[in-house]
Amino acid sequence: MSWLRAKRRPQGEGDQTSLPSITPAPTRKQQAWLAVAALSAMLLHAVYVPPDIALLALALLAWRFLIGWQRIPPAGRLVRVALALVGLALVVAHFRNPFGRAPGIALLLLFLPLKLHELQRPRDAYAAILLSYFLLFAACLHSQSMLAGAGLVAGFVLVTGALIVLHHPAAEWRATLRLGAAMSAQAIPFMLLFFVLFPRLPGPLWGIPTEAQMARSGLSETMEPGSISELVLSESVAFRVRFEDRVPLGRELYWRGPVLSRFDGRVWRAGESRRVLADSPYAPLGPPIRYEMTMEAHNKHGLFALEQPVAAIAGSVLTADFQLLSRLPVTQRQRYRLESHVRVSWSSEDRRLIAEALALPAGRNPRTLSLGRELAAEARTPAAIVLAILTRFRREAYTYTLSPPLLGDQAVDEFLFETRRGFCEHFAAAFVTLARAAGLPARVVTGYQGGELNALDGYVTVRQSDAHAWAEVWIDGQGWQRVDPTAAIEPSRIESGLSAALPAGEPMPILWRPDMAWLRALRQVREAASNGWNQWVLGYNLQRQRELLQRVGLDANDWRQVAVVLGTAAGLLMLAYVLWATRSAWRTVDPLEREWARVGRKLAEHGLARAAWEGPFAWSERAGRHWPEAHAALREVAKHYAAARYAGADARSATRAIRDLRRALPPNMRRSNDVSDKS
């Protein structure tokens, strides 16, 4: 390890500075920094690996920390080998094999603290630093959120600080952190340049991020009693919407999702209407509503749109029940633009869909079917049937609640005639069953209703808690008409949101409480920042990059041109940084010392360089004897320098005087023949 040690030089070779060296065995301070750096990298993975692997890795790191600070015996080689085999066995038990992204990260998570248990040589410390850096960047495979980015930056500064301490063991921790942050900040311009210009890949690097695979599935493609009431307890974001014109009122925000026509007496499922729409059966009335959707990953094919969508978008189809379906599962955040019409004029409908919207299972919910026939006999017209069903919901003692009782095989009968407590799916299912029993084609539509406008960024945020179910009925001459039974029971649900519709004393999440407005305001700030990160950082895809390049006059398809621009910009940026660093270093020199050094260089050109032992006056006297015509000026230079440096005279005045005297020195020297260097 002689290359790490300062090389000895014979005395008299001059004032030379050697590179800093690393001690053969890291000190306790260096070990502590390495442990903190490793912890910052490991914490980013702790929630994404199996709990036993995460606990074992953290326990190994804690053990290593105690070895350094409590002076307990270190782990021997056999113990380290045994622990490595245990970790390998755990990884194989969880992932079936040690190869792949997830098992590889789990193995590195275990091997990093084990590496810290064998810090015997400098290269062991370097290996731990490199493993920490690698684990930091591997965290991007789990999550690319703004919070994960902040953790990555903090970890990068800490690992860089550990690297600094390896080279400067006596460095104070505050100065180390400042230097680590400064070194990290110097890379930001290059990072931004490569982020904007480096060719974007059409998909995520190294496959789909785990957060997409583990995303909350959201709204299901089936519906049964209790399915939506369980989902609405989640405050996670389903999608965000930005309207080009005005933001519609809350009662207009019905986000269409799965349409369910088949009913077995308890569970509702999609039917024939799931097939692709050939010709649109309606004509739009009035101007469209234009908006941009940013939908979170949910691992299904469903895309949500405001009723009624005009046409499908790229990579999707519009079904016969006017639901947008992606051709591929939505495994990453998607952004798409849509147009919808609130008012449409219907022409006709496929008879098969009408027949499916009338079907009822035999032998199920007999009391509901009997009630439907009674209402039809009294009402006679479709509009009167709808009004009669809604009137019954209003007059009877039905309760809108998040905690409805469990229902059996005759779910609709039990809800209508016994429990009378339910959520939106109970009322929608009961309405459609009654309408079909009365001879009126009807189906259940699930999706989301409403949304929260964030005044900070202008986006409407729709959460899982906005999940909703309503009904559609077919009326000849009018087409499919939306009927929301929940609005008949609790109009405040549609006008003011779910929290306003729940009965007093109903258990609800803390953010729904009226006295938590300040907490909701804080959430809006956080979500506006997160949405900006998603839109401008994570959403900077290949299409956006091409649009940007075209706006600045570059051919997005000619990557040679882009490469030249990128290389030129990087070179100019590096040149600017070098000039800045040189100028900064020059500014740190004392102006008085700078002028004194210039005098020294002037004399050195004439063979009169100052010796290491000479003071200002001795040097000026020796130089004056060799250069008589400059003797007086050199004496004045020494006088001003000594007065400012040693007697407290004004340094600015002395600097100006020395500069003037230096400039007045004769350009050439006539050496005196009467003196000798030995005198």
CA distance linking residue 412 with residue 223, whole number of Å: 13
Same domain, residue pair 171 and 237: no
CA distances, 541 to each of 173, 201, 300 (Å):
40, 8, 22
Please check whether residue 533 lies inside any domain of the structure: no
Q: What is the pLDDT of residue 399?
A: 85
133, 152, 185 - which closes a domain = 185
CA distance linking residue 27 with residue 38, whole number of Å: 16
Confidence of residue 584 (pLDDT cuts 50, 70, 90): low
Q: What is the pLDDT of residues 431-454, one digit of tens each?
A: 999 999 999 999 999 999 989 899
Q: What is the pLDDT of residues 598-648, one digit of tens each?
A: 888 888 888 888 888 888 899 889 988 888 888 888 899 899 988 988 888
Query: 190 Cβ partners below 8 Å, 6+ apart?
Result: 570, 573
CB 103 within 8 A of CB 95: yes
Same domain, residue pair 252 and 324: yes
Q: What is the pLDDT of residue 432?
A: 95
Same domain, residue pair 394 and 510: yes
Mean pLDDT (whole number) for 504-514: 66
Kind and range of the H or E run holding 294? strand 289-295
pTM, entire model:
0.68
495, 516, 537 - which closes a domain = 516
Same domain, residue pair 85 and 166: yes
Please check whether residue 83 lies inside any domain of the structure: yes
- DSSP codes of every residue in 124-169: HHHHHHHHHHHHHHHGGGT--SHHHHHHHHHHHHHHHHHHHHHH-T
Q: What is the pLDDT of residues 65-110, one digit of tens each?
A: 787 676 677 778 888 889 889 988 999 899 888 888 889 999 999 9
User: 131 lies in which domain range?
Assistant: 28-185
CA distances, 514 to each of 414, 462, 489, 497, 612 (Å):
33, 19, 21, 12, 80
Please check whether residue 561 lies inside any domain of the structure: no
Please check whether residue 457 lies inside any domain of the structure: yes
Please check whether residue 282 lies inside any domain of the structure: yes
More confident position, 317 or 208: 317
Please check whether residue 112 lies inside any domain of the structure: yes
Nearest to 433 by CA among 230, 223, 229: 223
> Between β-strands 399-400 and 421-422, what pairing exists: parallel, antiparallel or unpaired?
parallel
CA distance linking residue 671 with residue 679, whole number of Å: 15
Q: Catalytic site residues?
A: 424, 468, 484
Mean pLDDT (whole number) for 375-401: 88
Nearest to 164 by CA among 149, 178, 150: 178
Please check whether residue 300 lies inside any domain of the structure: yes
CB 451 within 8 A of CB 407: no
104-125 core/surface letters (b: 16 or more CB in 10 A; e: else): ebbbbbbbbbbbbbbbeebebb
């248990």: which residue's tokens? 117
CB 422 within 8 A of CB 343: no
Q: What's at 381, amino acid-wise? A: T
The count of structural domains within the chain is 3
The first and second tokens of residue 405, run together, are 């009782």
Q: What is the pLDDT of residue 515?
A: 67
Please check whether residue 44 lies inside any domain of the structure: yes
Same domain, residue pair 339 and 454: yes
Q: What is the pLDDT of residue 263?
A: 92
Coil/strand/helix, residue 363: coil
Same domain, residue pair 169 and 273: no
Same domain, residue pair 257 and 352: yes
Q: What is the pLDDT of residues 282-322, one digit of tens each?
A: 777 778 899 999 988 888 888 999 988 888 788 888 888 88
Q: What is the pLDDT of residues 632-641, one digit of tens each?
A: 888 998 999 8
Same domain, residue pair 500 and 360: yes
185, 214, 248 - which closes a domain = 185
Same domain, residue pair 374 and 493: yes
Same domain, residue pair 232 and 306: yes
Same domain, residue pair 309 and 423: yes
- DSSP codes of every residue in 539-562: T--HHHHHHHHHHTT--TT-HHHH
pLDDT at 510 over 70: no
Same domain, residue pair 316 and 380: yes
Query: 230 Cβ partners below 8 Å, 6+ apart?
Result: none
